[in-house]
Amino acid sequence: MRMGGKWQVLRVFLMLLFALVALMPSLFSSAQSSPFLQGRSFSYGWFLDIQGSSGTFYARGLVWTVEYIFRTQALDGSTYGLWFLGRRPESFCLLFISVNDIGDSFFVEYYNYSENRYRGDRFSGQYDIRGIKPAPTPMPGYFPKAPVPPFKGQPFEISSPYAKVTHNGGKVLTKELQLQVYPLYEAIVTTSWHEVWALGVDELTQHAYLLVFYTTGPIAWIIDLWDGQVQSEPLGQVHLLD
């Protein structure tokens, strides 16, 4: 009887062990499938730690909580350009990260609204962004406390049925949007590809947007700073002035 009891205990133990071994591949796969992106920049000492669809970006003493909002074409030959939005009471930031599905090196471009500064640096680390999905946190009523900075760039104009904007300011008027536009920054990607970043504000509701206009065509990106949603509209093409 005593041997039989021990055998029963051993048998139950072995069954549990085999069941655990059988589950381990699926558990390991599940753990590995969560998107992540981690690394430190070469020149500026920035640090990025993304787990899932959000994470932390450290830059010059600032700690940003950033959330993945959108994906476009990368600028450096990588497969994807991932957009991350960070919002602090005094300012917001946007990260544009050029990556493949998996890798150990990636490029980050960082825009800080209150500094009105746009810089980029290469990172060394590890990432696997397969399965990443936008999941921004709604922040109704969000508006950065920092004053609107003066425009950094060359004179331009945008003239279309939906937008009348120059480097001094202007308006965007569509069925959905009635915005006062405050140009912020001219980003030069190539000699023919320039971008104008602007703050768009509904003066009745103070609903704030980040607008990105292009010299390459009339399509503009509209990033809602309240909920992190991104849409595109043919607001008009940037024409640089001599």
Q: How would residue 11 be classed by pLDDT, with cut points 50, 70 and 90?
A: low
Ranges 12-21, 122-131, 154-163, 226-235: which has the least confidence: 12-21
Mean pLDDT, the chain, integer: 90
Q: What average pLDDT does range 69-75 have in this prediction?
A: 91
Q: How would residue 3 be classed by pLDDT, with cut points 50, 70 and 90?
A: very low
- DSSP letter string, 182-212: EEEEEEESSSS-EEEEEEEE-TTT--EEEEE
More confident residue, 94 or 73: 94
Q: What are phi and psi of 212, to 5 degrees?
A: -125, 110
Strand order through the sheet with 178-188: 230-233, 220-224, 208-214, 194-201, 178-188, 169-173, 163-166, 156-159, 239-240
User: CA 78, 38, 70, 79: dihedral to nearest 10 degrees?
Assistant: 10
Question: pLDDT digit string (tens) for 100-109?
Answer: 999 999 999 9
**pTM for the model:** 0.85
State the pLDDT at residue 74: 87
C-alpha to C-alpha distance for 207 and 9, rounded to whole angstroms: 66
Fold (CATH) for 36-128 = Lipocalin (2.40.128)
State the pLDDT at residue 6: 55
Q: Where are the domains of the chain?
A: 36-128, 156-240
More confident residue, 231 or 29: 231
Q: What average pLDDT does range 206-225 have in this prediction?
A: 98
Q: Is the pLDDT of residue 14 over 90?
A: no
